[in-house]
Structure 1
Amino acid sequence: MRYSGIAWTGTGFEVAVLDEDGRPAAPPARFAAGRIRALTEHLLGLQREFADTGESLLTVIDSTNGMLDGGLMSAGLTLYRADPWVLPQRPAFGSVAAEELAAVALRDPDAVVRLSVETGTLGGRSAQMIADIDASVPALDFMRRSGRCLFSGQRERPVVALTFDDGPNPPYTGRILDVLDRYAVPATFFCVGLHALAHRAELERMAAAGHQIANHSWSHPYLPDLSRGEVLAQLERTDEAIAKAVGSDGPRMFRPPYGSRTPDVLRWLTEGETTVVLWDVEPSDWARPGADAITRAVLEQTRPGSLILMHDGGGDRSQTADALPGVIEGLLDRGYTFARVDALPT
């Protein structure tokens, strides 16, 4: 067995590979933000190389990195997650070192959790996430009453918001923008900071078309695993990356990755001017159920004022792009119009 770890930093990703004796099994590699395809091809090449000698490759990320799992698993890599309680202290900004991620699986294979496309990054932690969300109900209700959190807009008017998470992610972001342009429909894109850093052209195109660009964290972490300083740094770095590309874009809005929250996380988010944006329509397009299933789920779930959650990032989003014309045409046929989240009647 060979063990690889993938760390994220403020500029990209680092990969380390260990053999069963804990020695480097390949030179360390670094990939700038935006070079996820090169990172994937690097790991696939190592997997083929090790397979020639009868060895398998096990790859480890941590819960602060939700950017890569879908694409890596779809490419054929075996992926695991290491949680904070089995890892050393993280730096102020970034994950633990790639070598440490590989080493935790080497030391104790039972300490890491096997992931799948169906479960996503948080496989095995859904009960904890549900408990955290339940504990956050009073804080979230207070935020909703004070206008600092949105699940939906007004239910009296047939206006809805299309939203897309986890990008920019060429070529799928471009395909989605093509469809939106064709129908002259506005949307809101909740962007991941590392991707925004790498794909300025996509952000510029969103802004030029009149779409809203909002914040979806720097590395798509499970927020309850982060400290106050880490949560705020995730937002601040992402805002900076977006501002460098397109400047300010209206009210500051943030969508927590996975919708994750605790009372503490929500309190930290209310320290600034952030409005938390959640959703009430989820077709689970991230699981790639097929374009027809995505379209059908959106049309069945949507009501006046709905916030519709879809994805342009996190892996192959061809199904989402293929579903989008049917989504738009189906909603138009039902009498709906579309607005950015910051223009949705509330």
Structure 2
Amino acid sequence: MRFSGVAWTDSGFEVAVLDAAGRPRSPATRFAAGQVGAVTAHLLALQRESAAAGEELATVIDSTNGMLDGGLTAAGLAVYRADPWTLPARPAFGSVPAAELARAALRDPAAVVRLGTDTGTMGGRSAEMIAHIDSSATALARMVSSGRCLWGNTGDRPVVALTFDDGPNPPHTHRVLDVLDRYAVPATFFCVGLHALAHRAELDRMAAAGHQIANHTWSHPYLPDLSRTELLDQLGRTDEAIAKAVGDDPGPRMFRPPYGGRTPEVLRWIDESGATVVLWDVEPCDWSMPGPEAITRAVLDQARPGAVILLHDGGGDRSQTVAALPAVIEGLTARGYAFARVDRLPVT
């Protein structure tokens, strides 16, 4: 068995691979932000090399990295998640080094969780996530009532907001923008900072078309696993990356927590940052790639006036979302719905 770890940094990714004795197979390899395809190709080459030697390759990320596993598993890699209690302390900004991620699986294979396109990054922790969300109900209700969280909006006006998470992600973000342009539909993009750093052209195009660009953290972590400083750094650095495309006054600071992950403490920290939390009312689970028809059907079945619709342009292959988008727009339009950015959604 061989073990590879994939770490994230303030500028990109690091990949390290260990053999069954814990020895490095080669020096750690660094990839700049935006080189997700190169990371995937490198890991696939390592997998082929392992197979030629009669060994399997396990690739390990951690809960602060929700950017890669969807695409890696879809490519045929065996991807696992190591949780904070199995790892050494993280640096000031970034995940633990790639070799430490690989070593976590080597040290105790039962302590890492196998991921799949149907589970998402946080597979195996759903009960914990639900408990965290349930514990946050009172704090979230206060934020909704004070206008610091947009969720569960209802009203008589048939207007909905299309939102796209986890990009920019060429070529899928570009194709989503093509469809939105064709139908003259505004949308809101919740961008991951490390991707925004690398794909300025996509952000420039969003801004030029009048779409809203909002914050979805730097590395797509599970927020309850972060300290206050780590969370605020994730938001602040992503704001900086977005500001390079939209200027210093991008409008209301809106933030979507990855996975909707929250605790009362996390919500307090976000509130202190000055950002408005945006959740969602319609979730077709397009990230699990159920097929364009299933995505369209779920959106049309769940839509109602004031709804915020959660879709994805990043996090992996989003060709199904692109394929579903025309039918989603046409279906909603036929039912009398108009479209608005989240910050322009009528609130009643």
Q: State TM-score, norm by structure 1.
A: 0.99
CA distance in 2, matches of 1:172, 1:147: 32
Deviates more, 1:147-156 or 1:52-61: 147-156
Distance in 2 of aligned mates of 1:306 and 1:33:
33
Q: Which residue pairs with 1:93 in the alignment? A: 93
Shift of 1:212: 0.1
Q: Does 1:25 align with 2:56?
A: no
AA in 1 matched with 2:91 = P
Distance 1:251 1:335 in 2: 28
Q: How many Å separate the matches in 2 of 1:182 and 1:152?
A: 29
- Identity, % of aligned positions: 75
Q: Does structure 2 conserve the Cα–Cα contact (< 8 Å) formed by 1:200 and 1:245?
A: yes
Contact 1:254 1:274 survives alignment (8 Å): yes
Counterparts of 1:327 and 1:245, CA distance in 2: 28
CA 1:211–1:150: 2 relative to 1, 3 Å: same
Inter-partner Cα distance in structure 2 for 1:49 and 1:110: 24
Aligned partners of 1:92, 1:340: CA distance in 2, in Å?
35
Q: For residue 30 of structure 1, what is the amino acid of its counterpart?
A: R
Instruction: Indicate the residue corresponding to 1:322 in structure 2.
Output: 323
Alignment of 1:146-225 (within 5 A): 146-225=146-225
Contact 1:168 1:196 in 2 (8 A): yes
Residue matched to 1:342: 343
Q: Secondary structure at the match of 1:24?
A: coil
**Contact map agreement 1:143 1:149 (CA 8 A) in 2:** yes
In the alignment, residue 274 of structure 2 is paired with which amino acid? E
- Give the match's secondary structure for 2:65: coil
Aligned to 1:132: 132
The match for 1:276 is: 277
- 1:286-333 superposed Cα distances (whole Å, 9 cap, x missing partner): 000000000000000000000000000000000000000000000000
Shift of 1:246: 2.4
CA RMSD of aligned residues (A): 0.7
8 Å CA contact 2:33, 2:198 repeated in 1 = yes
Contact 2:207 2:245 (8 Å CA) reproduced: no
Partner of 2:314: 313
Q: Does structure 1 retain, via aligned residues, the 8 Å contact 2:5–2:101? A: yes
Give CA-to-partner distance per residue, 1:17-38, whole Å, 9 cap, x none: 0001111112310000000000
Relative to the length of structure 2, the TM-score reads 0.99
Contact persistence 1:154–1:345 (CA under 8 A): no
- The one-letter code sitting in structure 1 at the alignment partner of 2:11 is T
Are the counterparts in 1 of residues 167 and 190 from structure 2 also a CA contact under 8 Å?
Answer: yes
Deviation at 1:273, TM superposition (A): 1.7
The match for 1:250 is 251
The match for 2:113 is: 113
Once residues 93 and 134 of structure 1 are traced to their aligned partners in structure 2, the CA distance between those partners, rounded to angstroms, is 29
